[in-house]
Amino acid sequence: MAVTTPVRWMNSNWRAQMFGGSESKPMMNPPITSSPWPAAFARHRPDCDWCFASCRIRPAGQDPKRFERHASGKAAGALVVDPDGRPRLIRACATVLATGGLGHLFRYTTNGEHATGDGLAMALAIGACAAALEFIQFHPTALKIDADPLPLLTEALRGAGATLVTGRGVPVMSGRHMFGDLAPRDVVARAVWEHAQAGESVLLDATAIFRSTKGTAFPGARALAQCYGIDPAVKALPVTAAAHYHMGGVLVDTAGRTSVPGLWACGEVAYTGLHGANRLASNSLLEAIVCGQGVGKAIAARRSRLRPFVHARDSDTSTVTSIATRWDHMRDRLWQAMGPVRDAGTLESALAATAAERDSLEPGSRILRNRYSLAIEMLTAALTREESRGAHWRADFPQRDAQRDGPRAVYSR
């Protein structure tokens, strides 16, 4: 499997179109590592007994609670809950983790309600190695309306001439970057965040676009605005930064193997290193196709089809209501501490509060405990990285630490 220079597909009809954060030529993102595949991949044992995937991790109508691990240390399948609330143990000689991202851990996100990082949290709970947990990309122009998740407004609007302004009409990106409103996504997201933190509303003024023939290129954005009672040809659109994509995840090799024998991962839940410190838009689709196919081929090539035997242990006894109530507070906390701009004081306070709440959970709250543990790992990773790199920005360490370039830039857990 060969991976070459990232390519950006602009839109469905292949028209060349300027995006916010792009130049007239292909653009590379700030790397975490100096090569497409982290050096950590070489540390995986070559003699593990990888087996054929005999089932999906998320059968229709079933939610995984945790992974089961055999006495030998191999992943043995998953404990799920069926639509009637009954726990079921699905044994598998190979379990593929393809559960997506974790954007819904944040108050504002473009990710769906199931993107709560549960797959990553379950993998961490059985000792899987992870990396780059602090690298979360924030989309700068989610439509700020009463919805969860928030719909996003394409950055191509700014490429076509839309501008970001405050409620008082002050240009948001003035003096912040040489490309102004077309600055890289993380730069724009920080600017939007900082104005919002200061109590100012931020608007995307695309009125000139929608009053002209240019507006015909954005039927989706027009329909979206009108759906919420806004005529984009008359009024500017309220926007906010929002959690959009996680560059970190479960550490995998080029075949999708994790550090836990029998457990594989692909897609956003996996850390391949291909997105560096700041994912280039749409490359995640390419990664999912290429790496997902690689996982399937690698598993199918294995000879063993034996399913390990394991006894199901106690299931999760927490209720949906208790999870939703507690996690609602956690989403606010992570948004403030792990948002586009971070600092030691806020991270430390959030870390202490999260650890205390996790320790106070009832024994049966496995899903919630796993989510709290994931949040703790993310906060710890952000606190440990005392520099600014890509989508990770520390107000108290605003410079990139050149001594951490290359393989040393990756903090693995």
User: Average pLDDT, stretch 243-250?
Assistant: 97
127: left (phi over 0), alpha (psi -120 to 50) or beta: left
Rounded to whole angstroms, how far apart are CA atoms 343 and 56? 40
Burial label for 22, CB within 10 Å (0-12, 13-18, 19+), is buried
Rounded to whole angstroms, how far apart are CA atoms 392 and 167? 27
For 42-184, where are the alpha helices, taking DSSP H only?
A: 118-125, 156-159
Number of CB atoms found within 10 A of residue 219's CB: 9
DSSP string, 58-99: S-TT-EEEEEEE-TTS-EEEEEEE-TTS-EEEEE-SSEEE--
Residue 257, pLDDT above cutoff 80: yes
Kind plus residue range of the DSSP H or E element containing 289: helix 283-300
- Catalytic annotation, pick one of 69, 185, 279, 307: 185
Q: How confident is the model at residue 213 (pLDDT cuts 50, 70, 90)?
A: very high
What's the token pair of residue 326?
């507690």
Q: How confident is the model at residue 306 (pLDDT cuts 50, 70, 90)?
A: low
- Tens of pLDDT, residues 25-49: 333 344 454 333 332 222 232 222 2
Rounded to whole angstroms, how far apart are CA atoms 346 and 382? 11
Check whether the bond before 59 is cis (ω within 30° of 0). no
Residue 334, pLDDT above cutoff 80: yes
What's the token pair of residue 122?
């379950």
Rounded to whole angstroms, how far apart are CA atoms 360 and 345? 23
| Residues 79/89, Cβ–Cβ less than 8 Å | yes
Number of CB atoms found within 10 A of residue 14's CB: 8
Residue 23, pLDDT above cutoff 70: no
Q: What percentage of the chain exceeds 90 in pLDDT?
A: 65
Q: What predicted TM-score, i.e. pTM, was given to this entire model?
A: 0.82
Kindly give the pairing relationship between strand 263-265 and strand 136-143.
Answer: unpaired
More confident site: 29 or 170: 170
Q: Strand pairing partners for 69?
A: 75
pLDDT score of 264: 95
Residue 73, pLDDT above cutoff 90: no
Gyration radius from the chain CA atoms: 22
Within 13 Å, how many C-alpha atoms sit on residue 302's CB side?
A: 22
- Tens of pLDDT, residues 83-95: 887 788 888 889 9
More confident site: 219 or 52: 219
185 is catalytic: yes
Kindly give the pairing relationship between strand 270-271 and strand 249-251.
Answer: parallel
Encoded amino acid at 75, one letter? A
- Report the SS3 class of residue 337: helix
Lowest mean pLDDT among 114-128, 211-225, 272-286: 272-286
Rounded to whole angstroms, how far apart are CA atoms 91 and 310? 8
Rounded to whole angstroms, how far apart are CA atoms 350 and 366? 21
Candidates 3, 47, 5, 53; CA nearest to 26 is: 5
* Sole residue written with tokens 């906060």: 379
- Tens of pLDDT, residues 181-209: 999 999 999 999 999 999 999 999 999 99
Kindly give the pairing relationship between strand 263-265 and strand 95-97.
Answer: parallel
Rounded to whole angstroms, how far apart are CA atoms 187 and 158? 14
pLDDT score of 136: 97
- Tens of pLDDT, residues 120-144: 999 999 999 999 999 999 999 999 9
| Residues 291/270, Cβ–Cβ less than 8 Å | yes
Rounded to whole angstroms, how far apart are CA atoms 253 and 260? 12
Residue 180, pLDDT above cutoff 60: yes
DSSP string, 340-363: SSB-HHHHHHHHHHHHHHHHTS-T
DSSP 152: B
The domains located in the chain, with CATH, are 39-135+247-409 (3.50.50.60), 138-243 (3.90.700.10)
Candidates 211, 242, 237; CA nearest to 224 is: 237
